[in-house]
């Protein structure tokens, strides 16, 4: 079957969203481009699908190759719009995204619900000769597409099919609204500190960032007549963006101010037009109805069809095992904070807004260092050099920045090429490192930009987005990273490596495409472990003023602190994950007189945590992972993947992390299995390929200090 020609009217040459090769031109995309580009692409797609349905052959070239081309159309026209909505959000872009999103959702469902395409996929599986001629990756792609079609309602007819499509369209819009509400609520809040006494004890980085934030906010609001803030004398502006909010909770001595900020953070998106409360119930109700239409009892059962975990029971068992190890340690953690607070003169009962403050004081007391002592040793350019050097050591790749790349969407974004040991260009990535709370959503993420595929006989290399919300440069200082930000960068780069080091030439199984959702965190969590390897960590440090590396005593303290409050950390992850699974498996959102989703979350928190829930808290209203991301009935994936990633890293520990020959050998083996095979092989099979056995929880419990 011939590939379609591109749209030939004038907008093809003027609209960057109608390109079909090269890098997306993010720098030239305007909201006005979206509607004409998407409209033209959907018209092209409509003709293409009709042609495919009438002439599809149950072969790779006759069916799967054309379907891969359809994915490329979305990759160039629609996915850049969603990316820009995350990193350069504007009212104009939101409006046109909202206008076109239902049409894009409907087009995607038309493909998945196409009976002729589904029948042709089944015919491939039913023909023993054809099936045997397919590679493992090709078979996985066919299996995935058959399952996707079933989960998209291909087997539904009449009113059920119509209702399913309505639900999918509505859920897509709700997810976008939910995310926008969280972004707007986050950027709407500010706490202005004017009394120097209230800034007593703040680290210099927080003072500088808060003063800079105050000045920038006044400039953007065109406020005149106010003196510029200074780090020494203020005023200081605290926001709910984590580079501001996190250090503020850790270091602000004024308990009332901590409470104000904490309350604002856990009640984001709960008021007025930004209130996500009803969107949560709508989402849960529609997901349940969608699952029922497809014959599943719950949305969780439906969701686990495409994951590694064999069922909800397996997830429950993992949580039960971890709970037994973590809950007593978390209770001990809280007792330690209560004791320190009382010894230090706090007469009030320990509250949620006290935890970060006293945890930081206890860490300073036990390990005799602060985050502020570490930051000067982690200027971002040096950290990047260290990260790239580690990747060269392990995987034989080199990373080079491409200066003056014209397609970036912001001046802080950098573009890089990745080369293999033979000097061959194999992938590229964008790095958007800093927080921009006025336009960029919070958190950190990796997304696919362009998948690896073969087009007209030419190999198209993968390109990924790596987005963080790190501390931006302040004044003439470079970005000085907290250790947590260093770990986050390593984490996201682990995702990026799996996207870039793929050797699968089919876009539907290359990189993270086709990888079971509860396996996608393995590569990211694996990379975090190297942040505690002395040659790696110290080698990427350089004091931004003196040029000195991180002193041995600070490194030793950092490693000693690795186990600090790990029980509390596991309980926190379990609270998120069990709440997610409870809401999607054991909760009927349509029943009368049942607890609300907020109450369900607080019930889980009450059961797991030694500290009673904050009754005014509404964390779910900003829980974008499960209501606006891909983690619905899948948040357990973080801990599920961490079991495997810890076991993978244990292989390096067993040969000795400083045994250069063995580390290089294992690094290449890891590259050629977990990184390169992507969705072309089941992740458990890939794990066995690397480890030679089934996974064990021993390494995870040891790494978290939860095993005696």
With DSSP H G I counted as helix, E B as strand and the rest as coil, what are the percentages for the chain, rounded to 5?
60, 5, 30
β 425-434/463-470 pair status = parallel
**Segment (H or E) for 34:** helix 31-55
Which token pair is 416? 């890089």
* Structural domain ending residue among the three candidates 533, 563, 593: 563
Residues 550, 440 within the same domain: yes
Residue with the two structure tokens 């950390």: 569
HEC profile for 372-396? HHHHHHCEHHHHHHHHHHHHHHHHC
Residues 142, 194 within the same domain: no
Residues 445, 527 within the same domain: yes
Long-range contact list for 171-175, CB < 8 A, 24+ apart? 171/283, 171/286, 171/287, 171/290, 172/101, 172/102, 172/105, 173/98, 173/101, 173/102, 174/279, 174/282, 174/283, 174/286, 174/627, 175/283, 175/627, 175/628
Cβ neighbours around 232 below 10 Å, total: 11
Which token pair is 503? 């050797």
The CA–CA distances, whole Å, from 548 to 279, 372, 538, 540 equal: 52, 16, 10, 11
Residues 144, 207 within the same domain: no
* Structural domain ending residue among the three candidates 543, 563, 583: 563
Within a domain: residue 132? Answer: yes
Residues 193, 124 within the same domain: no
Give the pTM.
0.90
CB of 75 within 8 A of CB of 23? no
CA-angle at 11, arms to 7 and 15, nearest 5°: 105
Within a domain: residue 454? Answer: yes
Residues 139, 203 within the same domain: no
Which token pair is 432? 């958007």
Within a domain: residue 452? Answer: yes
Peptide bond into 235 cis (omega under 30): yes
Instruction: Please identify every stretch of the chain with a pLDDT value under 70, giving residue numbers as ranges.
Output: 1-13, 221-225, 593, 708
Report the candidate in 149, 108, 151 with the shortest Cα–Cα distance to residue 301. 151
In whole angstroms, give the CA distance from residue 372 to residue 377: 10
Which token pair is 198? 């209230």
CB of 671 within 8 A of CB of 648? no
Which token pair is 178? 């939910």
Predicted pLDDT at 701? 87
Report the candidate in 183, 199, 113 with the shortest Cα–Cα distance to residue 148. 113
Within a domain: residue 494? Answer: yes
What would you measure as the largest C-alpha separation in the chain, in angstroms? Answer: 79
Buried b (16+ CB within 10 A) or exposed e, 488-502: bbbbbbbbbbbbbbb
Residues 85, 211 within the same domain: no
Beta-ladder partners of 431 = 414, 466
Within a domain: residue 139? Answer: yes
Residues 233, 108 within the same domain: no
In whole angstroms, give the CA distance from residue 279 to residue 270: 11
Q: How far apart are the first and last CA of the chain?
A: 62
* Structural domain ending residue among the three candidates 233, 248, 267: 267
Residues 253, 385 within the same domain: no
Residue 497 domain boundaries? 375-563
HEC profile for 103-122? HHHHHHHHHHCCHHHHHHHH
Which token pair is 22? 């090269």
CB of 312 within 8 A of CB of 300? yes
Which token pair is 585? 């498996």
β 458-460/453-455 pair status = antiparallel
Report the candidate in 353, 373, 378, 352 with the shortest Cα–Cα distance to residue 363. 373
Cβ neighbours around 32 below 10 Å, total: 11
Any idea which residues carry the catalytic annotation? Answer: 492
Residue with the two structure tokens 């959907």: 42
Within a domain: residue 617? Answer: no
- Which CATH number does the domain housing residue 93 bear? 1.20.1050.40
SS3 428: strand
Structurally, the chain folds into a number of domains equal to 3
Cβ neighbours around 88 below 10 Å, total: 16
Residues 193, 148 within the same domain: no
Residues 258, 397 within the same domain: no
β 398-402/453-455 pair status = unpaired
Predicted pLDDT at 223? 64
Within a domain: residue 248? Answer: yes
In whole angstroms, give the CA distance from residue 275 to residue 622: 10
Predicted pLDDT at 99? 96
CB of 640 within 8 A of CB of 378? no
Residues 195, 146 within the same domain: no
Instruction: Give the sheet arrangement for strand 425-434, strand by strand.
Output: 398-402, 414-419, 425-434, 463-470, 445-450
In whole angstroms, give the CA distance from residue 416 to residue 558: 31
Beta-ladder partners of 192 = 237
CB of 452 within 8 A of CB of 509? no
Within a domain: residue 121? Answer: yes
């Amino acid at each position: 079957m011939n590939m379609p020609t591109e749209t030939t009217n004038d907008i093809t040459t003027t609209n960057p969203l109608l390109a079909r090769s090269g890098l997306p031109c993010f720098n030239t995309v305007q909201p006005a481009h979206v509607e004409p580009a998407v409209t033209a692409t959907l018209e092209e797609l409509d003709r293409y699908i009709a042609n495919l349905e009438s002439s599809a052959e149950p072969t790779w070239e006759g069916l799967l190759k054309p379907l891969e081309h359809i994915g490329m159309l979305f990759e160039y026209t629609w996915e850049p719009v969603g990316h820009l909505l995350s990193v350069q959000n504007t009212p104009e872009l939101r409006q046109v995204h909202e206008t076109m999103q239902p049409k894009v959702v409907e087009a995607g469902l038309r493909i998945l619900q196409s009976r002729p395409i589904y029948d042709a996929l089944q015919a491939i599986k039913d023909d023993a000769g054809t099936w045997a001629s397919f590679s493992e990756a090709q078979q996985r792609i066919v299996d995935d597409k058959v399952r996707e079609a079933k989960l998209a309602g291909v087997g539904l007819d009449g009113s059920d099919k119509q209702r399913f499509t309505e639900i999918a369209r509505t859920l897509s819009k709700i997810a976008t609204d939910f995310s926008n509400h969280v972004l707007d609520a986050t950027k709407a809040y500010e706490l202005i500190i004017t009394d120097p006494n209230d800034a007593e004890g703040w680290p210099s980085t927080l003072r500088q960032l808060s003063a800079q934030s105050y000045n920038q906010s006044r400039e953007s609001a065109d406020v005149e007549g106010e003196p510029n803030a200074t780090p020494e004398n203020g005023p200081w502006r605290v926001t709910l963006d984590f580079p501001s909010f996190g250090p503020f909770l850790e270091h602000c001595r004024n308990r009332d101010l901590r409470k104000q900020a904490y309350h604002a953070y856990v009640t984001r998106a709960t008021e007025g037009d930004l209130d996500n409360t009803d969107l949560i119930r709508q989402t849960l109700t529609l997901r349940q109805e969608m699952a029922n239409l497809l014959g599943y009892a719950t949305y969780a059962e439906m969701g686990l069809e495409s994951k590694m975990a064999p069922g909800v029971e397996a997830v429950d068992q993992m949580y039960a095992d971890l709970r037994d190890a973590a809950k007593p340690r978390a209770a001990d953690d809280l007792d330690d904070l209560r004791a320190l607070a009382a010894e230090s003169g706090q007469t009030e009962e320990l509250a949620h807004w006290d935890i970060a403050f006293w945890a930081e004081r206890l860490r300073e007391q036990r390990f005799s260092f602060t985050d502020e002592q570490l930051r000067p040793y982690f200027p971002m350019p040096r950290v990047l050099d260290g990260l790239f050097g580690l990747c060269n050591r392990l995987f034989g790749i080199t990373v080079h920045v491409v200066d003056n790349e014209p397609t970036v969407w912001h001046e802080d974004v950098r573009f890089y090429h990745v080369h293999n040991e033979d000097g061959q260009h194999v992938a590229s990535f964008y790095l958007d490192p800093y927080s921009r709370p006025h336009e960029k959503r919070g958190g950190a993420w990796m997304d696919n930009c362009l998948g690896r595929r073969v087009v007209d006989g030419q190999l198209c290399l993968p390109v990924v987005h790596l987005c963080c919300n790190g501390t931006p440069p302040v004044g003439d200082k470079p970005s000085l990273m907290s250790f947590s930000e260093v770990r986050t960068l390593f984490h996201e780069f682990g995702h990026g490596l799996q996207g870039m080091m793929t050797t699968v030439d089919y876009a539907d199984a290359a990189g993270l495409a086709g990888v079971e959702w509860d396996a996608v965190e393995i590569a990211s969590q694996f990379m975090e472990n190297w942040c505690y390897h002395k040659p790696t960590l110290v080698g990427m440090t350089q004091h931004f003023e003196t040029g000195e590396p991180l002193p041995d005593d600070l490194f030793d303290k950092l490693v000693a602190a690795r186990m600090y409050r790990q029980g509390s950390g596991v309980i926190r992850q379990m609270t998120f994950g069990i709440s997610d699974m409870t809401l999607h498996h054991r909760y009927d959102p349509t029943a009368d007189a049942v607890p609300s989703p907020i109450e369900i979350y607080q019930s889980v928190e009450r059961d797991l945590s030694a500290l009673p829930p904050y009754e005014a808290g509404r964390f779910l209203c900003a829980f974008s992972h499960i209501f606006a991301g891909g983690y619905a009935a899948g948040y357990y994936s973080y801990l599920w993947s961490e079991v495997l990633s810890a076991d993978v890293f244990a292989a390096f520990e067993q040969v000795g992390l400083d045994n250069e020959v063995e580390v290089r050998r294992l690094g290449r083996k890891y590259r050629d299995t977990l990184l390169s095979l992507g969705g072309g092989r089941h992740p458990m099979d890939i794990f066995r390929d690397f480890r030679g056995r089934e996974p064990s929880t021993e390494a995870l419990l040891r790494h978290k200090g939860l095993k005696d």
